[in-house]
Amino acid sequence: MSSPIDATTTPAWTALTALRESFSPDLRGWFAADPERVESLTFDLADLRVDLSKNLITPEIRAALVQLAEQTGVAERFAAMLAGEHINTTEDRAVLHTALRRPADASPALVVDGQDVDHDVHAVLDALSAFADRVRSGEWRGVTGKKVTHVVNIGIGGSDLGPVMVYEALKPYGADAGSPRPEAPRSAPAMRGGGVGRVQARFVSNIDPTDIAQKTADLDPETTLFVVASKTFTTLETLTNARLARDWLWEHLAAAGVDVATDEARSDAVAHHFVAVSTALDKVAAFGIDPANAFGFWDWVGGRYSVDSAIGLSLAIALGPDVFRELLAGFHAVDEHVSTTPLERNVPVLMGLLNVWYSNFLGAQSHAVLPYAQQLSRFPAYLQQLTMESNGKSVRWDGTPVTTDTGEVFWGEPGTNGQHAFYQLIHQGTRLIPADFIAVANPAYPLADDGRDVHGLFLANFLAQTKALAFGKTAEEVEAEGTTGALVAARTFPGNRPTTSIFAPALTPAVLGQLIALYEHITFTQGAIWGINSFDQWGVELGKQLALQIAPAIEGDQEAIAAQDPSTRALLAYYREHRD
Catalytic residue, from 389, 408, 413, 520: name it.
389
252 included as an active-site residue: no
How would you write 200-269 as a 3-class SS string? EEEEECCCCHHHHHHHHCCCCHHHEEEEEECCCCCCHHHHHHHHHHHHHHHHHHHHCCCCCCCHHHHHHH
Judge whether 284 and 278 are in contact, CB under 8 Å. Answer: yes
Catalytic residue, from 76, 420, 467, 555: name it.
420
Catalytic residue, from 76, 541, 544, 555: name it.
544
**CA-angle at 414, arms to 413 and 417, nearest 5°:** 90
How would you write 10-31 as a 3-class SS string? CHHHHHHHHHHHCCCCCHHHHH
389 included as an active-site residue: yes
**CA-angle at 204, arms to 203 and 208, nearest 5°:** 150
Judge whether 40 and 50 are in contact, CB under 8 Å. Answer: no
544 included as an active-site residue: yes
Judge whether 72 and 64 are in contact, CB under 8 Å. Answer: no
CA dihedral 562, 564, 569, 575 (to 10 degrees): -100
How far are the Cα atoms of 148, 182, 318 from residue 179, in angstroms, in the given order?
A: 16, 9, 13
Q: What is the per-residue burial (b if ≥16 Cβ within 10 Å, else e) of 380-406?
A: bbbbbbbbbbbbbbeebbeeeebebeb
Task: Please list the active-site residues.
Answer: 389, 420, 544
